[in-house]
Amino acid sequence: MQKHTPFQITNVHIVTPDEIIWDGVVTINEFGMINEVSQRCTGGSPQIDGQGGVLIPGAVDLHCDALEKLIETRPNVCMPQEHIMPQAEQLYAGAGITTIFHSISFAGDESNKPIRHPQRAREISHDVHNWRRHGVIDHRLHARYEVGDPQGLDVIKALIDEGVVDMVSVMDHSPGQGQFPDFEKFFAYFGKAYNLDEEQARRLAASKQENRSAGWRRAVDLILYAIQAGLPVASHDDDSAERVRFIQELGGRISEFPVNLETARCAHASGLRTIMGAPNIVRGSSQSGNMRAIDAVQAGVLDCLCADYVPWTLVAAAFKLPSISDLSLVEAVQLIATNPATAANLMDRGSIRPGLRADLVLLQQVRGLPMVAATWSGGQIAYQRNVTTHKDWDRETLFSGRIASPA
């Protein structure tokens, strides 16, 4: 393990798993681990003045496909691959994310999205894996298998054998269930996202429906293969208790984006970790017209938030939740760090406490909103900016959980 100079972050309000420590100090050792969390300086180590900022654990993002949008900036317009991962490093670190599961879709039946063809997705997956030795934050791969794709199974299994894949999920975007209970919703999404006219959308819908039965046999094969390899497995857009039980019996442990509250309740009660998108919290609604994430929060059945498609929304959602729900800031931060780390079996991170990785994010208040001023991953600086116009955080506001609105 590479050694670094030990240091202390002082003059910060620390969000721990149990409380907010006002005007605290975090000591990081030479191995990039947290040594001590206290309200006093121990001396002997270089000090970084947090200038009264809030210190939270680095976010653990289990699902975000923003990498695809960095690659394909316009429909069928792709940027050179060698530039993508350095840009992704800055994007995620600047959003306060220290562990990112890049969500790469293997969906060869969606021909209008060439970056989701299994062979292209394989190339992107290798790029993510190869960047790990260069990046400061922890880049991981979440392989998303679309059941209508006949080619992706063998590609993903080969990537698992190579040690490239860190998480697997199974998607079924055929109309008549899940996210798209009817063709109208299917067309509303795919027509816009993939620039399809109605006839093209109907052909795609028919293809997905025709391949569905065989696709689910392949999906079960993949789920069992991934579980045998020790990987966390998620289902996607669960719409019923039957789907939840089916995935759980196979060994799945995560339910991504349950489409209604009844399914979310069932998944949570069954021991599956439920995940919904942070953009849903920030916007106040689902982009696909399904369940609002705040309803799952209020019902006590939401375990994790993910960035989904907008990295900066994780921190924004955590700081918005105390003003629109019964959650404290401590509890809201657990949704973006502690709980996702547990769901992925990453027990060395996700909280600010001694013995864990020093994955830390310093936030200053600008216009009443949190702005990332610095991000450390394993004790190494991954992102830093000088926030000169910040205001001091109000102690009563932080402890009550009521965060101010933008000024």
Q: What CATH number did the domain enclosing 127 receive?
A: 3.20.20.140
Which domain-ending residue is among 343, 360, 383?
343
Q: Using DSSP, state whether 129 is helix, strand or coil.
A: helix
Instruction: Count structural domains, the chain.
Output: 2
Cross-strand pairs, 24 = 12
Is residue 332 located within the same domain as residue 370? no
What parts of the chain have a pLDDT lower than 70? Answer: 1, 42, 109-112, 173-195, 201, 208-214, 287-289, 400-407
Residue 373 lies inside a defined structural domain of this protein = yes
Give yes or no: residues 208 and 332 share one domain.
yes
Q: Which two tokens stand for residue 331?
A: 């509890």
Which residues touch 314 (CB under 8 Å, ≥6 apart)?
Answer: 59, 61, 95, 96, 97, 278, 305, 306, 307, 336
Contact between 100 and 309 under an 8 Å Cβ cutoff? The reply is no
pLDDT at position 407: 41
Please say which residue of 317, 343, 369 terminates a domain.
343
What pLDDT score was predicted for residue 110? 57
Q: Using DSSP bridges, classify how beta strands 77-78 and 72-74 pair: parallel, antiparallel or unpaired.
A: antiparallel
Query: What is the pLDDT at residue 188?
Result: 63
Residue 395 resides in a domain: yes
Residue 405 lies in a domain: no
Whether residue 99 sits in one domain with residue 15: no
For residues 100 and 173, state if they share a domain.
yes
Token look-up 């939840």 returns 244
Q: Which two tokens stand for residue 376?
A: 């450390």
Structural domain contains residue 407? no
1 in a domain, yes or no?
no
CA distance 252 to 246: 9
Is the residue at 406 inside a domain? Answer: no
Q: Coil, strand or helix: which one is 305?
A: strand
Same domain, 37 and 99: no
Amino acid occupying residue 149: D
163 domain residue, yes or no: yes
User: Do residues 96 and 210 share a domain?
Assistant: yes
The answer to whether residues 107 and 186 belong to one domain is: yes
CA pair distance 283, 264, nearest whole angstrom:
20
Residue type, 183: F
Nearest Cα neighbor of 357 from 26, 13, 19 is 26
Bridge partners of residue 104, in order along the sequence: 143
Are residues 221 and 103 part of one domain? yes
Q: Which whole-number Å values give the CA distances from 288 to 120, 122, 173, 243, in the listed order?
A: 26, 28, 12, 20
Do 353 and 268 sit in the same domain of this protein?
A: no
Quote the pLDDT of residue 182.
62
pLDDT at 405: 45
- Burial state string for 20-56 with b = 16 or more CB within 10 A and e = fewer than 16: bbeebbbbbbeebbbbebeeeeeeebeebebeebbbb
Phi/psi at 289 (nearest 5 deg)? 85, 10
Report yes or no on 2 lying in a domain. no
Asked if residue 375 lies in contact with residue 60, where contact means CB atoms within 8 angstroms, the answer is no
Boundary of a domain, candidates 300, 328, 343: 343
Q: How far is CA 214 from the centre of its chain?
A: 30
- Amino acid letter for position 274: T
50 & 138 share domain: no
Residues 335 and 380 in one domain: no
Judge contact between 71 and 191, C-beta under 8 A: no
CA distance 272 to 376: 30
Written as six digits, the tokens of 78 are 């792709």
Element (H, E) at 14: strand 7-15
Which residues face 361 on adjacent strands? 56, 375
Structural domain containing residue 223: 59-343
Helix (H) or strand (E) holding 144: strand 138-146
95 and 34 in one domain? no
Rounded Cα distance between 249 and 261, Å, is 21
